[in-house]
Amino acid sequence: MKRALLPKHERLLQELGENLRMARLRRNLSSEQVAERAGIARNTLIKIENGDEGVAIGYYLRVLIVLGLEEDLRKVAQDDLLGRKLQDAGLTISKRVTKIKK
């Protein structure tokens, strides 16, 4: 059984889709052009632009490439503040024991 996304996560995907749609329109590209260049069906592009959770991330990447935005994917989790805090909390610093010479 498929697990539904929380509404706030659905909104995130919808926002991503809208951002991709706006990037396409700013480049004056039709949905047919982007779909063809990305090697996907126009219906798949429409699903991406609507934030459909069932579309594979590889298809999102293909659209990003067509729009010249593939490097934006590198920014995802780049500054993982929570992960860094958790990592730092688990680190132990050992004290160096000084040897006494006799």
Q: pLDDT (tens digit, 9 = 90+) per residue, 7-19?
A: 999 999 999 999 9
Residue 97 maps to a domain: no
Three-class SS state of 7: helix
pLDDT above 70 covers what percent of the chain?
Answer: 87
Residue 101 maps to a domain: no
Residue 54 maps to a domain: yes
Task: For residues 93 and 72, give the distance between their C-alpha atoms in angstroms, rounded to a whole number.
Answer: 36
Give the position of tokens 């047919």: 32
Burial code (b: 16+ CB inside 10 Å, e: under 16) for 40-49 equals: beeebbebbb
Residue 95 maps to a domain: no
Q: What is the pLDDT of residues 21-54, one digit of tens each?
A: 999 999 999 999 999 999 999 999 999 999 999 9
Which domain does 41 fall in, by range?
A: 7-90
CATH of the domain at 26: 1.10.260.40
How many structural domains is the chain composed of? 1
Q: Please give the mean pLDDT across all residues of the chain.
A: 91
